[in-house]
Amino acid sequence: MPLEDAIFEKGLPSNADAERFVLGSILIDDAQFLQVAGILDPEDFSLEKHRKIFHRMMALNDRGERIDRVTLANELMKAGQLEAVDGVGYLVSLDDGLPQIANLDSYIRIVKSKALLRRIILTSQRTIDRCISGDEEPDSILASAGDEILKLGEARGSTGLSSPAEIIEGYEGGLNAFLDPSKRIQGVSTGFQKLDEKTGGIRPGELIILAARPAMGKTALALNLAYHVAAVVKKPTAIFSLEMSKESLLTRLLCAAARVDSQKFRAGFLNANERRQLQVAAAELTEAPLFIDDTASTNLMDIHAKLRRLKAEHGLGLVVVDYLQLMSSKGRVESRVQEVSALSRGLKLLSKELEVPVLALSQLSRAPETRQGDHRPQLSDLRESGSIEQDADIVCFIFREEVYKPDRTDLKGLAELIIAKQRNGPTGKVNLVFLHSLTKFENRLGDLDEDGPSGE
């Protein structure tokens, strides 16, 4: 069944008058075309003749020609479509009933809104048809449907430009809050004082990449951050682990919070004081808004769906993904580099849509080991990097020189967090301490002020 027939037979959302007024406004003043074309596509029109007319308007504009009734009719005639749009008479009627002071913005919004509703309905219908046919696995249908809905959401969010006045008006607290640093929306504290000073905390909509060679402590640092945001700042935090089980992650979190040797915990050699410390830490963790998912085959669409539900029910302060190279995307990809690039882009879009900082862990290539002298990582060392560096707002590397020089006792426990990229701030180095027995990073004593790190 043709789309136009389906629209009217099934009563799908449409507004032919709004579509007519949009096209009529362009014929009255073709300077309006760019405003319309920046938001609407030909497929946004419900009537086939309106889609043909808009296509011909686009062709005229591409050639730099004026758009009016005469040039449009000629263009349609050359394409053999003039009769298909009901002739010159219909072009003349496009502005019939159009108010003297046209409200083009409203007409465009109506057309776009109806088009989006139709796409949601048609996407849902395709999903129903696939379910009824029974030819595909439910997981495949879910992932594909989620991908289509996410793309619809991206299309909706990319249609408007905002003036400075609109941005300030929409800012929480208005102009005074926007100009007053003490009232501006602050980033979430990481628990590491020098890192907070350099970044201002991690902010909604940011993609933070934390990368390191194996055994440097990527997961440990990510868990430290997650624990601080959930248990200290009290913001809901989601951890997606594609490598470790939720029991192993909880064990690490408990031992680090209770300051109990994780090896002793696993072996069962705990004294009464250590057991008491673990009980206190467990009580704090059970009260914290912390959520862990250890599904090994998690993909971007699964994460998106789970986070939308979590945000609706509890809110959302931080998302941790451990780690990027273990994720997979649905569908065919030409190369692993392209797949990882698509995943990093997807995580960035997710962070913007859900307005939450996303901390994604990433592998590094073996290049640091092959370098002579200084083994500190560089941006070029990001494994299967593709667009990771480009998409990320912040890229941090963990470097512990003791891993390369185990005989140097003076290096034991010393760690560096290297901020190699920060879109809105300085790069540099943050010195930390790594406690091996607790698999935990901490501030160096000299970096703490009298009050310690702030909660938020």
* Banded pLDDT at 453 (limits 50, 70, 90): very low
pLDDT at 158: 47
Contact between 422 and 433 (Cβ < 8 Å): no
Domain that holds residue 44: 3-157
Shared domain check, 238 and 338:
yes
State both tokens at 452: 């310690």
Domain count, the chain: 2
Asked if residue 230 has pLDDT above 50, the reply is yes
Shared domain check, 437 and 299:
yes
Residue predicted with more confidence, 302 or 451: 302
Asked if residue 8 has pLDDT above 60, the reply is no
Is 202 within the bounds of a domain?
A: yes
Considering the entire predicted model, what is its pTM? 0.66
Q: How far is it, in rounded angstroms, from Cα 253 to Cα 381? A: 29
Shared domain check, 199 and 153:
no
pLDDT at 447: 61
Task: Specify the range with the lowest mean pLDDT, choosing from 112-121, 297-306, 445-454.
Answer: 445-454
Asked if residue 160 has pLDDT above 70, the reply is no
Q: How far is it, in rounded angstroms, from Cα 74 to Cα 362? A: 57
Task: Specify the range with the lowest mean pLDDT, choosing from 24-28, 232-236, 298-302.
Answer: 298-302
* Banded pLDDT at 18 (limits 50, 70, 90): very high
Q: Answer yes or no: 353 catalytic.
A: no
Which of 243, 274, 402, 456 is labelled catalytic? 243
Per mean pLDDT, which of 45-59, 327-341, 435-449 is the most reliable? 45-59
Residues 6+ apart with CB under 8 A from 348: 207, 358, 391, 392
Residue predicted with more confidence, 447 or 262: 262
Shared domain check, 338 and 419:
yes
Is 281 within the bounds of a domain?
A: yes
Asked if residue 6 has pLDDT above 60, the reply is no
Angle at 80 between CA 78 and CA 83, to 5 degrees: 120
Is 165 within the bounds of a domain?
A: no
Mean pLDDT of 321-325: 82
Is 150 within the bounds of a domain?
A: yes
